[in-house]
Amino acid sequence: MKNIAVIGAGTMGNGIAHTFAQNSFSVNLIDINETALHKGLETIAKNLDRMVLKEVITEHKKLETLQNIKTFTALEQGIEAVDLVIEAATENVDIKLKIFKQLDEICNSHTILATNTSSISITQIAATTTRPDKVIGMHFMNPVPLMKLVEIIRGYNTSNEVTNAIMELSKKLDKVPVEVNDYPGFVANRILMPMINESIETLFNGVAGVTEIDTVMKLGMAHPMGPLQLADFIGLDVCLSILNVMYDGFKNPKYAPCPLLVNMVRAGKLGVKSGEGFYDYATNKKADIVAKQFSKI
């Protein structure tokens, strides 16, 4: 597999495209929004500049990486004659099902269809296609160029041949693939999201403040980033979406999202992407005023 298509030029999509291109794959980066494509390429270029500055790669490698990426706004053109498509669109089940139905209709019969979903059932996605044996999950971690882990998620009908091919492909990206089965949240988010949710509950109940909670987890549990800061980094809307998928999938109240998280997302306080979440990224201070506004009285 040398020809790859990535659908979605957002944070995860441009990171996946960057990683494949840097490892000498030909990448078609696809997004219906041309502005998003330009922004995605700018992000890749900036990240490559940092790597050159830190002497991780050479200037020649940077230019070669950028030359390996082509951009498309038309799905039909971008997925023509590729060996693997990786969908990295919004974490919304309806959007993903629609995309995979289109991919199945357009792609060559040998093309493997992968999704970067962090929680949605691979089996459900695969059921919209006529090739469920060739549908698989590749859950990359953010930031993709730096993080080693890739969760490889087998749907109910994913073949051994496809699973083995994607495991080997991930190793060629200098990643560490870990095979997991298809249950809501898989492994990473099934463990991470309840921890983040409980941290938000701890804040919601007035046990401690934002910085205090994050400091306890960083210094006491050796986490590189506190759970509230990590939630801001992931995106509070994404955290809410994943928790809802897990709650719907397991029908277990322990996965029910905290009311504070729900209200912050409703108010547009999404974390880094909106400039404010549990922290205020405009002033680099705690956004305690935001938390208190939606906490219990």
Please enumerate, by residue number, every residue annotated as part of a binding site: 8-13, 31, 91, 96, 118, 142, 273
How many angstroms separate the CA atoms of 279 and 295, rounded? 15
- Contact between 276 and 293 (Cβ < 8 Å): no
From the number of C-beta atoms within 10 Å of its C-beta (0-12, 13-18, 19+), residue 42 rates as exposed
Residue 269 and residue 292 in contact, taking contact as beta carbons nearer than 8 Å: no
Asked if 151 is an active-site residue, the reply is yes
Catalytic residue among 87, 116, 139, 197: 139
Residue 139 known to be catalytic: yes
Q: Which residues are annotated as a binding site for NAD(+)?
A: 8-13, 31, 91, 96, 118, 142, 273
Inter-CA distances, 268 with 19, 61, 91, 165, 273, Å: 31, 39, 17, 41, 10
Residue 290: name the closest of 274, 272, 273, 267 by CA. 267
From 170, 189, 199, 241, active-site residue: 189
Other beta carbons within 10 angstroms of residue 172's beta carbon come to 12
SS3 259: helix
3-state secondary structure of 236: helix
The answer to whether 118 is a known catalytic residue is: yes
With beta carbons less than 8 A apart as the criterion, state whether 129 and 135 touch. yes
Other Cβ atoms within 10 Å of 218 Cβ, number: 15
Question: Any catalytic annotation for residue 34?
Answer: no
In angstroms, the CA 108 to CA 3 distance is 13
Tell me how far apart the alpha carbons of residues 144 and 19 are, in angstroms, rounded to a whole number.
Answer: 7
Tell me which residues are annotated as active site.
Answer: 118, 139, 151, 189
